[in-house]
């Protein structure tokens, strides 16, 4: 086993990814359960809400709530997929075999899934602003997620590096 | 690939098997097989030197160039 494969950081990262997967699965399940159950109890919930916020429209609020839950389920699915791919990449590093074409494909897919999360985050933020407005907090508007954009670009660059690494490795394997 | 490896012909001319050559040049049979079948992407000078020493030949005797070959 190589030094990289024996790395503690790798083991900690793997543990962290497993924890994140658990969290994502839990949040996804809550959102799924919420979107399935809340409509049945909406009248009761709305009675409580209308006492605090009399001007609120129940149909509008319910549709916003369902939109948030649906988007949250979608984002959880995308995040789950990212974490699964990340786990596979970590596995290949553990086996001291990271420069394979599959990892380049995985990284590219992770990049696109991250783009998907960013896109799904926009309507989520807009729908969420309805609930913030109830509490008197106005919607600040869309902010450019510079950190996320940089992270996505980094992942695509890494995918290119892995593709190049896989090419070099294939050539090395064909060298006698 | 337009570069061809004529290891088969050289071995036949010297009445030597690939296994024998592998033992004498200290290169694995698998690697020599890759070279013989033309699947190799590159050849190290050290490999070329070892083969030429054992087969008493020049690198040019081992390699050929066919411009009309596949991938040319």
What is the C-alpha to C-alpha distance for residues A157 and A116, in angstroms, rounded to an integer?
18
> Where residue A163 falls among pLDDT bands split at 50, 70, 90?
very high
- The H or E element that residue B60 is part of is helix B59-62
Q: How confident is the model at residue A1 (pLDDT cuts 50, 70, 90)?
A: very low
More confident residue, B72 or A28: A28
Asked if B7 is an interface residue toward chain A (Cβ–Cβ < 8 A), one would say: no
Q: CB distance from B47 to chain A under 8 Å?
A: yes
B44 neighbourhood in chain A, CB within 8 Å: 175-176
Chain B nearest CA to A166, separation (Å): 14
* B31 shares contact with chain A (CB less than 8 Å): yes
Spell out the residues 6+ positions from residue A120 whose beta carbon is closer than 8 angstroms to its own: A71, A74, A75, A78
Domain total in chain A:
1
CA distance A173 to chain B (A): 8
Chain B CB contacts of A174 under 8 Å are 34, 39-42
Q: What is the mean pLDDT of residues A147-166?
A: 96
Question: Is A3 inside any structural domain?
Answer: no
Residue A92: inside a domain: yes
Rounded to whole angstroms, the Cα distance separating A63 from B49 reads: 76
Residue ranges of domains in chain B, CATH in brackets: 3-65 (1.10.260.40)
Whether A116 is covered by a domain: the verdict is yes
Closest residue in A to B32 (Cα) is A176
Please name which of A7, A3, A4, A10 lies closest in space to residue A90, comparing C-alpha atoms: A10
Q: Is the pLDDT higher at B54 or at A131?
A: B54
**pLDDT at residue B21, rounded to an integer:** 93
ipTM of predicted complex: 0.73
**Using one digit for the tens of pLDDT, what is the confidence trace for A35-60?**
888 888 877 877 777 777 777 777 78
Residue ranges making up the domain that contains A127: 8-173
Chain B residues inside the 8 Å CB shell of A175: 40-44
Tell me how far apart the alpha carbons of residues A160 and A107 are, in angstroms, rounded to a whole number: 9
Mark out the alpha helices in chain A (DSSP H runs).
8-52, 58-94, 101-134, 146-173
Residues B39, A174: C-beta atoms closer than 8 Å:
yes
For residue A28, pLDDT beyond 50:
yes
Residue A1 lies in a domain: no
Q: What is the mean pLDDT of chain A?
A: 88
pLDDT band, residue B69 (cuts 50/70/90)? low
Residue A79, pLDDT above cutoff 90: yes
Residue A87 has pLDDT above 70, yes or no: yes
Per cent of chain A over pLDDT 90 is 55
pLDDT of B10 over the 60 cut: yes
Does A169 touch chain B if contact means CB atoms closer than 8 Å? no
Within-domain flag for A2: no
Q: Give yes or no for residue A142 having a pLDDT over 90.
A: no
Q: How far is A97 from chain B (nearest CA, A)?
A: 20
Q: Is the pLDDT of residue B51 over 80?
A: yes
Using a CB–CB cutoff of 8 Å, tell me whether B59 touches chain A. Answer: no
Q: Does B72 have pLDDT greater than 60? A: no
Q: Is A86 left (phi over 0), alpha (psi -120 to 50) or beta?
A: alpha
Residues of chain A found within 8 Å of residue B47, distances taken between Cβ atoms: 176
CB of A167 within 8 Å of any CB in chain B?
Answer: no
| pLDDT (0 to 100) of residue A133 | 74
Task: Say how many CA atoms lie within 13 Å of A83 toward its Cβ.
Answer: 19
- Highest averaged pLDDT of the listed ranges A26-40, A128-142, A150-164, B56-70: A150-164
């Amino acid at each position: 086993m190589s030094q990289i494969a024996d790395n503690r950081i790798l083991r900690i990262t793997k543990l962290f990814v497993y924890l994140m997967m658990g969290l994502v699965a839990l949040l996804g399940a809550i959102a799924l359960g919420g979107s399935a159950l809340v409509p049945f109890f909406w009248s009761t919930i709305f009675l409580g809400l209308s006492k605090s916020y009399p001007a609120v429209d129940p149909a509008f609020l319910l549709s916003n709530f369902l939109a948030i839950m649906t988007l949250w389920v979608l984002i959880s699915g995308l995040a789950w997929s990212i974490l699964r791919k990340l786990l596979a990449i970590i596995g290949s590093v553990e086996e001291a075999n990271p420069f394979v074409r599959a990892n380049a494909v995985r990284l590219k897919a992770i990049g696109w899934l991250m783009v998907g999360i960013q896109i799904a985050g926009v309507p989520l933020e807009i729908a969420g602003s309805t609930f913030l407005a109830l509490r008197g907090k106005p919607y600040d508007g869309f902010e450019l997620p510079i950190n996320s954009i940089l992270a996505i670009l980094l992942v695509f660059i890494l995918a290119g590096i892995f593709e190049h690494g896989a090419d070099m490795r294939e050539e090395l394997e064909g060298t006698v | 690939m337009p570069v061809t490896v004529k290891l088969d012909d050289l071995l036949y001319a010297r009445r030597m098997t690939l296994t024998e050559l592998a033992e004498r040049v200290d290169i694995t049979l698998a690697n020599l097989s890759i070279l013989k079948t033309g699947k190799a992407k590159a050849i190290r000078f050290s490999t070329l030197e070892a083969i030429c020493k054992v087969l008493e030949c020049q690198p040019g005797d081992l390699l050929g160039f066919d411009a009309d070959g596949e991938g040319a």
